[in-house]
Amino acid sequence: MIVLTGDGTQGFIAGADIRELRGISLSDAREFARLGHDCARLLETMPKPTLAAINGYCLGGGFEMALGCDLRFASSTAVFGQPEINLGLIPGWGGTQRLARLAGLGMAKELVLSGRTLTAADAYAHNLVNAVCEPEQLRPLVADRAALLATKSAVALARAKKALNNALAGDHRANLQHEADQFASLFSTADAREGMAAFLEKREPRFTGK
């Protein structure tokens, strides 16, 4: 598992340093956007599940990194937002796209066009985080969820993640066929044989990722 979090309780990722961004060239801005997209895409597409433990300000590029993760868990004191419009800019690391997929186009437009922030409770209500807890409970909660995922077959997790990532893009029938193909292919794996044997023998499976 990969867990992304901030140090302490004040901030997950509070966004870019505006002093540094202020004087960059057009080519540097393109490179900055490319770097952010590459990072978020890596979190989104790597075979291992990625979890965000959001422990404070989660703004701008920080919010976009969290949106690239598979699962997001927030402290009750967390604050979310895409404030780029207040600087005469727009999100550049995938925020316009992933926000619309997770929260719906209307909510994405409200956040991006207004630059307003959300509380953790609001983020949960709009499907942007999977759970909210008190600050001192965040790390134990995320550790518990990561430990649960670690008990699963790594090969099945990777294929499930890939299929889920396709759900809101591309052709629906092709995505269904891809799911069916991946389901069938898993029957050739040692993990599937072990999982079914363990179920019938009423014991915990011992997956090897093969």
Residues annotated as part of the active site: 64, 84
**Planar angle of CA 101, 7, 88, nearest 5 degrees:** 50
The edge-to-edge listing of strands for the beta sheet with 2-5 is 2-5, 50-54, 71-75, 131-133
Q: What SS3 string covers 72-111?
A: EEEECCCEEECHHHHHCCCCCCCHHHHHHHHHCHHHHHHH
What counts of helices (H) and strands (E) characterise the chain? Answer: 10, 8
As a whole number of angstroms, the distance between CA 170 and CA 124 comes to: 27
Residue with tokens 């995922």: 149
Count the helix, strand and coil residues of the chain and give each as a percent rounded to the nearest 5. 55, 15, 30
What is the secondary structure of 160-178 as a DSSP string?
Answer: HHHHHHTTTSS-HHHHHHH
